[in-house]
Amino acid sequence: MWRPLPEQHQKWQNLLNELTKAYNIGEIKLLVNAKCEYPQGDPFTRAIILDKYSMISFLHEFGHFIGIDHPATFDWSEETFYKAMPSARKRLVRDEKGYLVKK
Ligand SMILES: [Zn+2]
């Protein structure tokens, strides 16, 4: 399994720090643990916990921290992702659960 180097993890954490500053919501820690069954956000420990490095999952969980509910954060995370990666729109499609997958 591909594992990021510590400095790569730090890049993800830095992005999260930029987002929390932009939204003025205080620090959130990013944890990546392959044993976790699904991506989740923990408002008590203020952590986003991902099973793998996935930008869409990362944005989805961040969306909850800024108060977007579960159905709406699918749209928010997708649109936010496409703003940064417009070319991905042609390559991705939603599955029956609403998650983005490769076409
Ligand atoms: Zn959700």
- The CATH number assigned to the domain holding 89 equals 3.30.2010
Q: pTM for this structure?
A: 0.87
CA–centroid distance, residue 25 to ligand 1 (Å): 18
- Strand segments, DSSP code E, in 1-103 are 29-32, 40-42, 47-50, 92-94, 100-102
Higher pLDDT, 8 or 48: 48
Looking at the domain assignment, is residue 47 inside a domain? yes
Looking at the domain assignment, is residue 1 inside a domain? no
Q: Which residue range is the domain that position 47 belongs to? A: 6-102
CA–centroid distance, residue 22 to ligand 1 (Å): 21
Looking at the domain assignment, is residue 43 inside a domain? yes
Total domains in the fold of the chain: 1
pLDDT, tens digit (0-9, with 9 covering 90-100), for 9-33: 999 999 999 999 999 999 999 999 8
pLDDT, tens digit (0-9, with 9 covering 90-100), for 44-92: 999 999 998 999 999 999 999 999 999 999 999 999 999 988 998 899 8
- Strand segments, DSSP code E, in 27-91 are 29-32, 40-42, 47-50
Looking at the domain assignment, is residue 48 inside a domain? yes
Please tell me the predicted confidence (pLDDT) of residue 70: 92
